[in-house]
A = this chain, B = another copy of it.
């Protein structure tokens, strides 16, 4: 055995040559690989020694059930097996309400005939069991885990995922399977964005008009929430509620218009009048005190998110009473007014034993240093907060709704850029980060594919050593974890088939899948532009853009192939053959797809995209012919093809053809 501390890309590469890479995500902090493996067969059994409670027992049962699902071996959890093959030992229990910074470390030692998993508390045991499950693979002699010693702990104590359930309501069972996914990649915070302009999603018994008038009937009961929090706790996940205020709060005003800074009547439809909370009325704070009192008991975590982002000051500017208040209190700006509001709200939270979190905009030196600032703006504001003594979380760069490739999220580190130059003490204030799933364009049907597998790389960034950043290794492991997540019940891969058939009917959709495989949704906030008016959140999300994966694996693989081919000086015959196979399939696809496209209102918009793919396929084939014959192409041909490529790059049906860039490289190479 040799000791391995994963420190950098080079070392990772050297492991890959020496031993098969372990398909783990997030990569543990230290891995000692041995030789040989332990066969998982029907003799497998588990014993829990040391600390013991119902939650840990439930975790072990889920572990065995999942091992059963993965291997197909019908294990029965037998109490007190005579010679257990996996021994699980936690030193002591967990806190009843999971705390920030609780010890999550574990040690997993796998020998050739058994394994031991130890941890200070069940939190580490939960993480270690997930590692174990990711290690199980078929071998030549049976299902097996490799002989290995893993000592593991997280880099950051706060590794979260935000799910917005206001823009589109997401039912509890969908959230639960996402908790299962989070647990599998060792995330420990679900940030539940429970209210926004488009809906208030929590039952309040003391202020019932919040959900009665603000949710169209789509909200979680308190019983459901309690059950959900317990479900998360059993998986080592804290649940932080966010009630966004004073902006993003129109849904509150349907039931309680007196909270608003302007007059209604308010509706949840985007085309009705907007508003923001009136911070000048004492009644507002009485309301919030009553509200926080109730919610603080329901949500047990010590942290409470008040949003605080993107307050539209025009509603304050237009209200003479609010203007008078500002003047009377010597406030120079709406930022001053919001700071006043936040101070009042922070005192209410403190009274109910909650620590305030808010987005960048809440950062003002007059707030106590206990609060946490969550940055959607970038490492700079995180660094500024840390310098001022505030704790911070990074979400900039982790917005899963922006349709970035995994590699782009992966490169973003909470300690990079402005944060890199902080002192050690300042750095310690950076608690971690959160992937964010804003729900403008997701439904229960496709939210999984918008979160997974990409969220797993955010999880790795926040758990694994900073030096773990090899992109090829990441994609190999991401593919494995993606399949693993589907066995847990997530539908990020499988839902696409149903969505494509919805568009095409029961016909053979192979050519539609060929097209879907090479496109991605447009990026950032370009899907919608305000000239179209407000987004209709009741519209079905059933277009091609809603069905496809945010990242095209096929395009990435094709791009790699083209690189290999070009770098070989067009000599790599295997690469050339594969490239041609792809290009021929694309060139010929439109003819096969055309009959389908004509039949369905949902596919008509895709016609130009399909035609472009066909054209690009033909262009690529011609380019490869020139390259293969070592014959430069005529300039006129290149000019013509590059014009065609420019057209192919243009968005169509809000989609991008992701293989165009690689074909362009081929075409440009023919001129050299």
A interface residue numbers (CB < 8 A to B): 23, 42, 69-74, 76, 137-142, 216-217, 443, 445, 479-480, 483-484, 486-487, 494, 497-499, 501-506, 538, 540-542, 546, 598-604
CA distance A503 to B599 in the complex (A): 39
Q: How far is the CB of A42 from chain B (nearest CB, A)?
A: 7
Cβ of A600 and Cβ of B138 under 8 Å apart? yes
A411 smallest CB distance to B (angstroms) = 24
Complex CA gap A194/B285 in Å reads 62
Q: How far is the CA of A483 from the CA of B494 in the complex (A)?
A: 13
Please state if A137 and B42 are interface contacts (CB–CB under 8 Å).
no
* 16 pairs, A vs B, C-beta closer than 8 Å: A23-B506, A70-B502, A72-B445, A72-B502, A72-B540, A72-B541, A76-B216, A138-B502, A138-B503, A138-B505, A139-B600, A140-B598, A479-B506, A480-B505, A480-B506, A484-B506
What residues of B have a CB within 8 angstroms of the CB of A480 in the complex? 505-506
Partner of A72, one of B138, B139, B542: B542
Are A140 and B70 interface neighbours, CB within 8 A?
no
Measured CA separation A230–B69 after assembly (Å): 29
Other A-B contacts than A72-B546, A139-B599, A487-B498, 15 sampled, CB-CB below 8 A, are A42-B540, A70-B502, A71-B502, A72-B443, A72-B445, A72-B499, A72-B540, A74-B443, A76-B216, A138-B505, A138-B599, A139-B601, A479-B506, A480-B506, A483-B506
Q: Are B23 and A141 in contact (CB under 8 A)?
A: no
The 6 closest A-B pairs by CB, nearest first: A72-B542, A480-B506, A138-B600, A72-B540, A73-B540, A483-B506
Evaluate whether A138 and B73 lie within 8 angstroms (CB atoms) in the complex, with A483-B506, A498-B487 already known: no
Question: Does B487 contact A71, Cβ atoms closer than 8 Å?
Answer: no
Shortest Cβ gap from A155 to chain B (Å)? 25
Residues of B within 8 A of A23 (CB): 506
Q: Nearest residue in B to A144 (C-beta to C-beta)?
A: B601
When C-beta atoms are compared, the residue in chain B nearest to A169 turns out to be B74
Task: State the CA gap A604–B70 with chains docked (Å).
Answer: 19
Task: Collect the chain B residues with CB atoms within 8 Å of residue A505's CB.
Answer: 137-138, 480
Q: Is the CB of B601 within 8 A of A140?
A: yes
Contact A601 B479, CB 8 Å, known A72-B445, A542-B71, A542-B72: no
State in angstroms the CA–CA spacing of A238 and B598 once bound together.
44
Cα separation A69 to B542 with both chains bound (whole Å): 10
Residue ID in chain B nearest A600 by CB atoms: B138
Give the nearest-CB partner of A542 in chain B.
B72
Smallest CB–CB gap between A538 and chain B, Å?
A: 6
* CB-based nearest B residue for A538: B74
**Complex Cα spacing A137 to B217, Å:** 29
- A601: chain B residues at CB < 8 Å are 138-142
When the two chains form their complex, are residues B138 and A602 in contact, meaning their CB atoms are under 8 A apart? yes
B486 with A498: CB separation less than 8 A: yes
Nearest-Cβ distance from residue A78 to partner chain B, whole angstroms:
10
Separation of A139 and B74 alpha carbons in the complex (Å): 46
- What is the bound-complex CA distance between A538 and B74, given in angstroms? 7
Residue pair B71, A540 in contact (C-beta under 8 Å): yes
Q: How far is the CB of A307 from chain B (nearest CB, A)?
A: 25
A73 contact set on B, CB distance < 8 A:
540, 542
A509's closest neighbor in chain B, by CB? Answer: B483
Q: Is the CB of B604 within 8 A of A140?
A: yes
Q: How far is the CB of A416 from chain B (nearest CB, A)?
A: 30
Report the minimum CB–CB distance from A360 to chain B (whole Å): 33
User: Which residues of B have CB within 8 Å of A504?
Assistant: 138
Q: Considering the chains assembled together, what is the distance between the CA atoms of A494 and B497 in angstroms? A: 9
List the B residue with the shortest CB-CB distance to A143. Answer: B601
Instruction: Tell me how far the C-beta of A193 lies from the nearest C-beta in chain B, rounded to whole angstroms.
Output: 19
- Chain B, residue nearest A42 (CB): B538
The complex places the Cα of A484 from the Cα of B504 at a distance, in Å, of 13
- Distance of A393 Cα from B101 Cα, bound (Å): 66
Closest to A598 in B: B140
* Nearest CB on B from A179, distance (A): 19
Closest to A72 in B: B542
Q: Give bound CA distance, A487 to B491, whole Å.
A: 13
**What residue in chain B is nearest A499 (Cβ atoms)?**
B72
Cβ of A499 to closest chain B Cβ, rounded Å: 8
Which residues on the B side are within 8 Å of A499 (C-beta)? Answer: 72
Q: How far is the CA of A138 from the CA of B601 in the complex (A)?
A: 7
The answer to whether A540 and B74 touch across the interface, beta carbons within 8 angstroms, is yes
C-alpha spacing A486/B498, complex, angstroms: 8
Which residues of B have CB within 8 Å of A71? 502, 540, 542
